[in-house]
Amino acid sequence: MSSHQKISYQGEPGAFSEQAAKAYFGNTCDVVARETFNEIFEDVERRRSAFAIVPIENSLHGSVHQNFDLLWKHRVHIVGEVKLRIKMNLLALPGVRIKDLRAVYSHPQALGQCDKFLRSLKNVSVNPFYDTAGAAKMIAVERRRDAAAIASLQAAADYGLKVLRPGIESDHRNFTRFLVIGKKQVRPKRNAKTSLIFTTKNIPGALFKCLSVFALRNINLLKIESRPIVGAPWEYLFYLDIEGDAREKECINALNHLQELTAYFKNLGSYESGKIVTPH
Amino acid sequence: MSSHQKISYQGEPGAFSEQAAKAYFGNTCDVVARETFNEIFEDVERRRSAFAIVPIENSLHGSVHQNFDLLWKHRVHIVGEVKLRIKMNLLALPGVRIKDLRAVYSHPQALGQCDKFLRSLKNVSVNPFYDTAGAAKMIAVERRRDAAAIASLQAAADYGLKVLRPGIESDHRNFTRFLVIGKKQVRPKRNAKTSLIFTTKNIPGALFKCLSVFALRNINLLKIESRPIVGAPWEYLFYLDIEGDAREKECINALNHLQELTAYFKNLGSYESGKIVTPH
């Protein structure tokens, strides 16, 4: 990718999304920080940025459901994937000790990933914040000596905080899978996967029949996720990741077959399965 | 149910969970307010309460994933279900106007359900709070004239707040499905459904094969949900709701068949499908 293309991410500088962008596009890539996920999807849709980097799933805490909804709403494609090793750290102002703490701030996903550690703290309130790096910034700017943030080492460096306790995630096999979204579809060279959205027709065994189009062709199912349909209580949109490129013969047949069974269908794109990267 | 049995719920008095408990057990039932979901599961497991009422899914915002994880961890059963019509209201101190607001507080689920309305407010920060009724209580106790809470009419009445704007949910077909959990399994009399948890064996087309045990017997699948397995990145626990009672012949056969294909299996119980109730 050329270095002058802008890459949008959600959060403050020091956010895990920024690390994922640099891991995927290289350290000198031109990143744009935005406040909300909706804005980074709009950046790509309106061509203000070439790409955006979107956290979609954490291996401890689960899916980032809001971003499944945004993939459905926006006219963008998935063009790549990266799996970032996540290390969560308790950060505070220099001199502050664990026993001084009355509050911990971080993004709800990060709080969820550090659940075990947080339950070991006594008389400390756990407070959701819009962003991990944003929580670190707030502690630094407001000179809070009674509070800590959970964020990356990069955020500690960026905002002059000390690491009170490193690696506080509940399990160290902690990865966040990010999607790279762009305006145009790409052609993956190797290890292709394809993401789809669909709703089933109102027929008996509908979901089973939809999955059969892949099973009958030995196409591996990598992930299934369901999201509620607004205005239709207890009906669902399904998100599917399958192995393979939607331009291959077997895959074309499966997706044609699938569309005989679905009321709504959207191909989010084929892309190369992401490698695991560890930030420095 | 006899009225002296305790029913645990998460939240402050005025919470939607309390309304659901009263809709299910009657207005005079003996409710116990707890701070966390984990505590209400423990109340049932250790027989401090006969039952607990657990929000599991909202028709606009999706599943309450933490409670799927707790159903897996605790030795409890699902014994009932109730679907509560949810009306979200913007609450503030008497005399406060919308243009005075600089902040809105509520539970992240409630904020998600009022997404459209919140985006229409200018220069107002949106702040996650541990509980809807807790946010209302905080506004009242701290006499905040620059902030509002999103909560139930019951919470407005309980904490002396005024309804600045009623019914601000993004879509009025807004229901939350609550599960009633107890220590012992029950025998549903009509409209039975059964909830299951399983992990698939590491075989090709594993999930497809698991769903086939129901499709082959014309047993309807009502919901599927996947949750990450801690320590095994990109592997999932599946939660399934099916139609029928696990004690019926067809269902017994399907569940025996399922266990030939699963690495882990747990029957959460059979119960009567919940009715829709509207709080006064």
Contact B118, B196 (CB under 8 A): no
Contact A178, A274 (CB under 8 A): yes
Q: Which residues of B are catalytic?
A: 176, 178
Answer yes or no: do A104 and A130 share one domain. Answer: yes
Answer yes or no: do A156 and A54 share one domain. Answer: no
Contacts of A170 in chain B (CB under 8 A): 230
The Cα B149–Cα B164 span in angstroms is 10
Report ipTM (2 d.p.): 0.86
pTM of the complete model: 0.89
Angle between helices B206-215 and B249-261 (to 10 degrees): 170
A 10 A CB-CB count for A80 gives 21
Cβ separation A215–B205 shorter than 8 A: yes
In a domain, A280, yes or no: no
Cβ separation B230–A60 shorter than 8 A: yes
* Closest CA relative to residue B161, chosen from B90, B111, B98: B90
The Cα A129–Cα B171 span in angstroms is 26
Residue B280 has pLDDT above 80, yes or no: no
Answer yes or no: do A133 and A158 share one domain. Answer: yes
Q: Is B173 on the interface with A (CB under 8 A)?
A: yes
Least confident of A123-132, A160-169, A253-262, A263-272: A123-132
The Cα B268–Cα B152 span in angstroms is 30
- Burial category of B13 from C-beta neighbours within 10 Å (exposed 0-12, middle 13-18, buried 19 and up): middle
Residue B158 structure tokens: 């309980």
Cβ separation B225–A227 shorter than 8 A: no
Answer yes or no: do A200 and A264 share one domain. Answer: yes
Residue B30 has pLDDT above 80, yes or no: yes
Q: Across chain B, which distance is largest between two alpha carbons, in Å? A: 64
Residue of B nearest to A69 (CA): B61
Residue B81 structure tokens: 């279900």
Cβ separation A208–B205 shorter than 8 A: no
Q: Is B198 on the interface with A (CB under 8 A)?
A: no
pLDDT tens string B225-250:
999 998 888 999 999 999 999 999 99
Residue B146 has pLDDT above 90, yes or no: yes
Question: How many folded domains does chain A comprise?
Answer: 3
| Helix extents (H) in B93-195 | 108-113, 115-119, 132-141, 153-159
Overall average pLDDT of the B18-39 stretch: 95
With cut-offs at 50, 70 and 90, classify the pLDDT of residue B190: very high
Q: What is the pLDDT of residue B4?
A: 66
Contact B234, B200 (CB under 8 A): no
Least confident of A67-71, A129-133, B82-86, B175-179: A129-133
β-strand pairing of B103-106 with B125-128: parallel
In a domain, B278, yes or no: no
CA torsion sign for A98, A99, A105, A111 is positive
Residue A1 has pLDDT above 80, yes or no: no
pLDDT tens string A6-65:
999 999 999 999 999 999 999 999 999 999 999 999 999 999 999 999 999 999 888 998
Residue B208 has pLDDT above 90, yes or no: yes
Contacts of B65 in chain A (CB under 8 A): 62
Answer yes or no: do A68 and A179 share one domain. Answer: yes
In a domain, A70, yes or no: yes
With cut-offs at 50, 70 and 90, classify the pLDDT of residue A149: very high
In a domain, B30, yes or no: yes
Q: Cα dist. B85→A154, B57, B276 in Å? A: 45, 12, 7
Answer yes or no: do A73 and A178 share one domain. Answer: yes
Answer yes or no: do B70 and B105 share one domain. Answer: no
Residue-number span of the structural domain to which B39 is assigned: 6-86+174-185
A176 is catalytic: yes
Contacts of B218 in chain A (CB under 8 A): 204-205
* Closest CA relative to residue B97, chosen from B114, B115, B121: B121
A128 → closest Cβ in B108, B222, B226: B108
In a domain, B1, yes or no: no
Answer yes or no: do B75 and B95 share one domain. Answer: no
The Cα A53–Cα A26 span in angstroms is 13
Residue B3 has pLDDT above 50, yes or no: no
Residue A128 structure tokens: 């959701």
Q: Which residue bears the tokens 């809470």?
A: B149
Answer yes or no: do B223 and B99 share one domain. Answer: no
In degrees rounded to 5, what are phi and psi of residue B17? Answer: -60, -35
Residue A3 has pLDDT above 80, yes or no: no
Contact B37, B70 (CB under 8 A): yes
Contact B166, B247 (CB under 8 A): no
B234 → closest Cβ in A59, A207, A224: A59
The Cα B241–Cα B220 span in angstroms is 9
Size of interface A-B (CB pairs under 8 A): 95
pLDDT tens string B150-189:
999 999 999 999 999 999 999 889 999 999 999 999 999 9
In degrees rounded to 5, what are phi and psi of residue B189? Answer: -85, -35
Contact B21, B29 (CB under 8 A): yes
With cut-offs at 50, 70 and 90, classify the pLDDT of residue A4: low
Q: Is B178 on the interface with A (CB under 8 A)?
A: no
Q: Cα dist. A99→A142, A160, B51 in Å? A: 19, 20, 37
In a domain, A216, yes or no: yes
What is the CATH classification number for the domain harbouring A211? 3.30.70.260
* Closest CA relative to residue B81, chosen from B193, B161, B164, B3: B193
Q: What is the pLDDT of residue A280?
A: 60
In a domain, B280, yes or no: no
What is the CATH classification number for the domain harbouring A65? 3.40.190.10
In a domain, B13, yes or no: yes
Answer yes or no: do A222 and A161 share one domain. Answer: no
pLDDT cut 90: percent of chain B above it: 84
Q: Is A35 on the interface with B (CB under 8 A)?
A: no
Cβ separation A205–B218 shorter than 8 A: yes
Cβ separation B65–A60 shorter than 8 A: no
Q: Annotated catalytic residue: which of A132, A176, A199, A200?
A: A176
Answer yes or no: do A98 and A156 share one domain. Answer: yes
Answer yes or no: do A136 and A242 share one domain. Answer: no
